[in-house]
Amino acid sequence: MVTPSLKGKTLFITGASRGIGRAIALRAAKDGANIVIVAKTDVATSKLAGTIHSVAEEVVKAGGQALACKVDLRNPAEVENAVKEAVERFGGIDIVINNASALAIMPTLETDIKRFDLVNQINSRGTWLTSRLCLPHLLKSSNPHILTLSPPLDMSAKWFKPHCGYTMAKYGMSMVTLGLSAEFKEQGVACNALWPLTTIATDALNILGGDPLKNLSRTDDIMADAAYLILTQPSRECTGNFFIDEDLLRAHGVTDFAHYAVTKGATQFAADFFCTRFSSRALRLSRLRGKIRQNRLLVCSAHSAPLGHAHFW
């Protein structure tokens, strides 16, 4: 039996300078993968840790090869140039991770057009654009995958009422997944989405609730491990799925999740936006609502999710 591996595969990861994107990059690098680190941050700041260059160094130390590309996903020319650089450096692209996402959690009358445009341009438009520009190269790969970090589609009004603009942008990413999975199924390009069961401890939590919420979260390693399982599947046999991280790992025999908890020994975790089901282990974000600071926006890669089983579409 051949052990699944990403050795020699080229991953084009947006929003890879920190958080979940970085975690997925480092997990793949352990196999000896080529990582194209696509993000805006090329100089460290006091507010946000990590740059495309610091992650590139980590990738090389982990055993992979790295290409750092400073890119604003709102600029098609910059994305196109990054794709060209990746192909010139590594000979092609095998995997696309649509991880970059803008967060704007606020009601309609508090959302100005600049913020609305930003979240929609980066989230849904950025996901479509990145996928579109990489597809000609993915079609040449022996096992092509597009993995987008977005939630299962649930058109309940409750998800639109508190932050309509953001929900539109996030669901737009899921709609790209749904559409491309059908459009490119016959060509063998896998298009799937992945969403966490609980809140993930990334920089976005500084906006959503700070340490109280972080202590109820899991580390980004759980998303990296779940992504790895998806990306090592045969692309023609695994497409059109909306996976939930814990459910996917359980389906592959994982039973111990304690090491993913930010707080050692934690038994309860926060279920964030778009949670369709809850368990005794999950706390509704509404119970933590007083911790949320409104009217802030951050381009980041933090996500949280429904509690339950993987969704297949």
Q: Active-site positions?
A: 166
Other beta carbons within 10 angstroms of residue 280's beta carbon come to 7
Nearest Cα neighbor of 180 from 139, 216, 219 is 139
d(CA 199, CA 19): 12
The DSSP bridge partners found for residue 37 are 13, 68
Long-range contact set of residues 69-73: C-beta below 8 Å, sequence gap at least 24: 69/36, 69/37, 69/38, 69/39, 70/39, 70/40, 70/42, 71/14, 71/38, 71/39, 71/40, 72/40, 73/14, 73/100, 73/121, 73/122, 73/125, 73/126, 73/129, 73/130
Residue with tokens 């020994």: 265
The angle formed by the CA atoms of residues 136, 140 and 142, to the nearest 5 degrees, is 140
134 with 12: CB under 8 angstroms?
A: yes
Tokens of 194: 């992945």
